[in-house]
Structure 1
C-alpha cells in the first residue's frame, strides 16, 4: 500500500513484515494513506 509522510510529504510503500510503520527518509511515524483521485457520486433519492 502506498502512503505519504505527514512530515516530509514523500510517498512511501510500506512492507509490514520487515520494517515498522516509519518514514524511510525522515523517520517520522505518522503516515497518511493516499486517496484515489476519482470522486464517488451517489444519487440522492
Structure 2
C-alpha cells in the first residue's frame, strides 16, 4: 500500500511484516494513506 509521511512528505510503500509502520526516510510513525485525486459520483435513489 502507498502512504506518505506527515513529517517529511515522502511517499512510502509499506511491508507490515518486515518493517512495521515507520517512515523509512525519517523514522516518523504517523503515516497517511494516499487517496486518488478523482471523485467518484454515485447517484442517490
TM-score by length of 2: 0.89
Of Structure 1 and Structure 2, the greater helix share is in: 2
Gaps of 5+ in 2: none
TM-score by length of 1: 0.89
Gaps of 5+ in 1: none
**Equivalent pairs, count:** 45
Superposed CA RMSD in Å reads 1.0
